[in-house]
Structure 1
Amino acid sequence: MLVMNPTLLLDADENAVSLSQIRINSRSEIPKYWQIYNSIIEGIEQQSILPGYKLPSIHEVSGEFDISHGTVEKAYRLLKANNIINSVNGKGFYVCHTPIGHKLKVFLLFNKLSTHKKIIYDALVDSLGPDVFIDFHIYNNDFQRFSDLIQREDGGHTHYVIIPHFFDQEDKARAIINALPKDKLLILDKFVEGISGKYAAVYQNFQADIEYALTEALPLLRKYHTLNILFPAYTYHPKAILNGFYSFCHAHNFKTRVVYDIDNEAIRPGNAYINLMEDDLVTLVKKIKQTSLRLGQDVGILSYNETPVKEIILDGITVMSTDFAEMGRMAAQLIRENRPAHIENPFRLIVRHSL
C-alpha cells in the first residue's frame, strides 16, 4: 500500500481523474454511488489513476451525470473511509492509496430482481464490503440472455455467483455452468444436479422445505379439507416444490389441487391456497375480499417468500420462507474464504392471520 502525505498533493493538480474515467449506467441495478466507487477502483487497478491524481469535484460529477450531490458525496465518503482518497481543504479530493495484491471481482448473475432477491443482493454486497467489485447482471430467467452474458464475460473475475432459474433449456444452462472454473463458482438459491467438481453453493432444499413448513402448519391446516397450490403451467419454479406438496398431502390425507390459473378459480370454503408468485397472491386476496368467507377460518392462505408487506395485508399473511439475508451473508463468507462448501439455507414458517 502506498500512502502519500496530503501536503505533497498540492502541486499535483495537473494530474487529474477525468470525468470520462467515471462510468455510470443509468439502467444498471447497481446503485450509482457504487458505480462511481468501482470506476475509481478500476482505474487504480489499471494504473490509469495514480496516487496524487485529483478527482473531479462533487459538483462536476453531479452535473455531468445528472445525479444528486448526495450520491457523489456518498461515493467519495466511501472512498475516503477506505483510505483510497484524501480531502485537502480548499483543494478537493486526491488519490492517496494504490491497492496492491489480489482483489475480489464478482460476476453476479440473478434470474430476476424481486423484493426477496434484493434482500439477497443487499446482504451479499454489505457483507463483502466496499473493496469488492460487483459486476451485476439480470437474465430474466431466459437461457439465451444468460448464455450471452457468460460468453461476453472477459475472464477477469475471481468468482461467478449464479442464481440458476430458467423457463427452459436447463440442460444447456447446466453445461455452461459446468464449464466455468469450479474454484470460482458459487451456486445460489437453487442446487443444480450434475455440476461436477468442488464448488460453493448456498441453496434451498425445495422439497424438504415445503414438507417441513406444511408439517409445522398442520394443526392450522386441519381446518381445511383441500390444499391448493398455485403453480403456473409455464414457470421457472422447481418441480421439487410440487413433489414435497404431494408427499405431505398424501401422508396427511388432504385433497390436493394444482391451480394453474388463479384468474379462473372460484373461491370456496374449506380450501387453503399456497401461492408462489406475488401477482397470484394479489389476485387471490382480491377474490377472497369479494366473498363473505372469513380468512383464516373458511379459507386460508400460505404464501412463499417473506416480504415486509405480507405482515400487513389482511392483518397478516402466513408465510413459509428461506432466510434471504442469511443466504447473501453466507455466500459472502464463502467468497471471502474461497471455500467450496455446500450449505442448505435456513427455512421457516411464520404464522399470521391468514391461516
Structure 2
Amino acid sequence: MNFIFQKIRELTEINSLSKNEQLIQGILNAIDEKLVSKGEILPSVNAMIKEFGFARETIAKAYKELISRGIIKSTNRLGYFVAIEDTEQILKVALVLFNFDVFQEDLYRNFKEGLGENVHLDIFFHHNNIETFESILSNMKGKYGMYVIAPIPHPKTTELLKSIPANRLLMIDRYVPVDEEVSYIVQEFEEPAYQAFASLSERIKEFEEIIFFFKPSSAEPIDILKAFKRFLKDFEVKGTVKTAYVPGSVKAGKVYFTINNSELWVIIKDTIAKNLQLGKDVGILSHNDDTVKEIVCNGITTFSVNFGEMGKKAAEYVLDRQKIQEVMPTVLLRRNSL
C-alpha cells in the first residue's frame, strides 16, 4: 500500500490535478511501474481517507472509474484489487494537434494505424488558441493513459503541460521546455529553413525577388521568419516580407514563399489564370510537404519533416514507452516550382 500512497502523493504537488485525478493517475502509475501486481489489494476507502484526508465520495468515484476501465475489480467483502498489469490493453490516448491540414492528416493516419485496434484514440484541435488549448488540457486531465500533444509556443504552455505526468506525455511537432524526462518527437525551424533557403539561393537569384507571406500572431513559426531575414542578408538576395497575399497580385519575376496552404493554392490559381509558367515566370516555395504538393503543377518545391514518419514514431512510443527525445530532419524537396 505504501507504493500506492507514494505515487498518489507525488501527484498532489500538481495543483492543477483534481483529487480524483490524483488518485486515478497515482494508481495507474504504480501499476505501470510494476510497484503493484495483478491480484494485489488496494488501499480501502477508509485507508485513503486517513492517508490523504480526501472525501469518501472522491475516493469512491476514482475507484469506480478504474473499475469501469477494467483496471481494478472489487468484491463486497474483500475490497479493491488490481485486475490487470498491462493497462495499455485498454489504453486511452488523447492526440492534440494544431488543426487538420493535409500534412497533419498524414501524421494522424500513420499514428492511428500504428496504435492498432486495441487502443482508444480521441483527437482534439487547439487552432493555436491558448484559451482553447488550456480548456482542452483541463477537460482531459486524468482521463487518458497517454497524452500526445503538439504544443503552442506561449508563456503559459510550460505550466499547462506540467499538469500531465511526464511519463504519460509525448510532445510532437514543436518543442516546449517542460521537464528533462518528457519525451518528444519534434522539428526545428530556424536552421533547417536557413539551409533550405541557402540551397535554393542560386535558383532564387534567377528571379527579381522573393516574397515571404508571414502572418504575425499565427501558428506560423517565427523562427522561419528569422531564417528568411538572415538568408537575405547573408546571400545578398532581394526579398520582402508581407503579411498576406492579395488575390490576383501574382507577377512574373517573383518567387513566392508561404507557409499557409490556402494562400498557396490561390497563388497557384492566379499563376495559371495569368498564363504564367510556374518555375520559369514565377517561383513558388512551400513549407510542410504532402502528396498534393508532389503532384500539382508537376510538383511544388517544399522543405519539410516527414509527418507520416512522425506519426509512426509517436505510435511506437505510446505502445512501448521507451523514452525518446528526437528532432526529426527537415528535407528540401526540389520540384518544378523552384
SS of the equivalent of 2:186 reads: strand
Quickly say closer, same or farther: Cα 1:121–1:217, change in 2 above 3 A: same
State the TM-score, normalizing by the size of structure 1. 0.67
Q: Which residue of 2 aligns with 1:274?
A: 257
Offset of residue 160 of structure 1: 1.3
Q: Distance in 2 between matches of 1:178 and 1:99?
A: 28
State the TM-score, normalizing by the size of structure 2. 0.70
Q: Which residue of 2 aligns with 1:297?
A: 280
Q: Which residue of 2 aligns with 1:66?
A: none
SS of the equivalent of 2:123 reads: strand
Amino acid at match of 1:209: P
Q: Please list every run of 5 or more consecutive structure 2 residues that lacks an aligned counterpart in the other structure.
A: 1-66, 74-82
Q: Is the 8 A contact 1:225 1:254 kept in 2?
A: no
Q: Which residue of 2 aligns with 1:253?
A: 236
Quickly say closer, same or farther: Cα 1:101–1:338, change in 2 above 3 A: closer
Query: Is residue 2:168 matched to residue 1:184?
Result: yes
Q: Distance in 1 between matches of 2:337 and 2:329?
A: 23
Q: Is the 8 A contact 1:204 1:344 kept in 2?
A: yes
SS of the equivalent of 1:174 reads: helix
SS of the equivalent of 1:137 reads: strand
Query: Is residue 2:70 matched to residue 1:45?
Result: yes
Query: Is residue 2:149 matched to residue 1:162?
Result: yes
Q: Is the 8 A contact 2:259 2:287 kept in 1?
A: yes
Offset of residue 273 of structure 1: 1.0
Amino acid at match of 1:242: L
Q: Distance in 2 between matches of 1:156 and 1:294?
A: 53
Q: Distance in 2 between matches of 1:107 and 1:255?
A: 45
Q: Distance in 1 between matches of 2:84 and 2:120?
A: 13
The 5 A counterparts of 1:1-355 are 45=70, 101-103=86-88, 104-165=91-152, 170-192=154-176, 194-263=177-246, 266-355=249-338
Give the paired residue count.
Answer: 261
Amino acid at match of 2:93: V
Amino acid at match of 2:222: K
SS of the equivalent of 1:141 reads: coil
Quickly say closer, same or farther: Cα 1:161–1:275, change in 2 above 3 A: same
Amino acid at match of 2:236: N
Quickly say closer, same or farther: Cα 1:154–1:178, change in 2 above 3 A: closer
Offset of residue 99 of structure 1: 7.0
Q: Is the 8 A contact 2:146 2:318 kept in 1?
A: yes
Q: Is the 8 A contact 1:106 1:132 kept in 2?
A: yes
Q: Please list every run of 5 or more consecutive structure 1 residues that lacks an aligned counterpart in the other structure.
A: 1-41, 49-97
Q: Is the 8 A contact 2:214 2:258 kept in 1?
A: yes
Q: Distance in 2 between matches of 1:144 and 1:123?
A: 28
| Cα deviation digits, residues 280-315 of structure 1 (max 9, x gap) | 112211222343533212220011122222233223
